[in-house]
Chain A
Amino acid sequence: AQKVTQAQTEISVVEKEDVTLDCVYETRDTTYYLFWYKQPPSGELVFLIRRNSFDEQNEISGRYSWNFQKSTSSFNFTITASQVVDSAVYFCALSEASRGRRALTFGSGTKLQVQP
């Protein structure tokens, strides 16, 4: 069965520090998608990125970067030069082709607190 593990429950950093959020997944599918979402205190889940299982190229978007490694079933997320506005809960999620990509399986989230 599919599973997403975010072992870091809570991380606290000081502004301008770099921080990496870990995500490990399990799936039997060879075709799947991985996501990261941000959930600020307002509650709405904000889409950050989607990667498919055939594309292991790392991606950078501004201060955000993602490292996808199929060999270790990991899809880690790094924030460079963190800011107070980055404080939120971050979720890693998986969707599988065998389920028609209908449902997302989420990890339990990592709460990031960025102190000024």
Chain B
Amino acid sequence: DTGVSQNPRHKITKRGQNVTFRCDPISEHNRLYWYRQTLGQGPEFLTYFQNEAQLEKSRLLSDRFSAERPKGSFSTLEIQRTEQGDSAMYLCASSAGESVEGYTFGSGTRLTVV
């Protein structure tokens, strides 16, 4: 297991289309997080899963956003009716409880809405 894997790396979509991103965490990590990073800013927390349960959602996560982690392994983040303001890097991270080394982040999916 080489780390947190995110697919696709890049996604270009037209405004109004739906997109889905996938995150495969480190296999023994029970916690999974999604963050969004816009250009020149730090990542912003979107949502958090412990196993398959979604325990926290940021108010940044509008009704157009939905995240799932059906079997407590991989997770998907879907954005419906994309808007230009959704253009950002979407980062996934995982951790094994309160890991002393913090979270392990994936390389992210860069979304461009045209």
Contacts and interface: CB of A to CB of B under 8 A. Distances in A.
A47 B31 CA distance: 17
B91 A102 contact: no
B63 interface: no
Interface stretch (A11-19, A62-70, A76-84, A106-114): A106-114
Contacts, number: 56
Nearest to B91: A45
B48 A47 contact: no
Interface of A: 4, 33, 35, 37, 42-47, 50, 91, 93, 99, 101-109
Q: What 10 A-B pairs have minimum CB-CB distances, sorted nearest first? A: A106-B42, A45-B105, A103-B45, A44-B107, A47-B102, A102-B48, A50-B102, A43-B108, A106-B43, A91-B42
Contacts of B35: 104
Given A102-B55, A103-B56, A109 B91 contact: no
B91 A106 contact: no
Interface residue tally on B, bucketed by range:
20 to 34
Contacts of B41: 108-109
B99 to A, nearest CB: 9
A101 B45 CA distance: 12
Contacts of B33: 102-103
B101 interface: yes
Nearest to A92: B42
Given A43-B110, A103-B45, 8 more contacts: A37-B105, A44-B105, A44-B107, A44-B108, A45-B43, A50-B102, A93-B42, A102-B55
A108 B42 contact: yes
Nearest to B40: A108
Interface string B86-114: 00010101000010111111111010000
A107 B105 CA distance: 16
B56 A104 contact: no
22 contacts: A33-B102, A43-B107, A43-B110, A44-B108, A45-B91, A47-B102, A47-B103, A50-B100, A91-B42, A99-B56, A102-B33, A102-B55, A102-B56, A103-B33, A104-B103, A105-B45, A106-B42, A107-B42, A108-B40, A108-B42, A109-B40, A109-B41
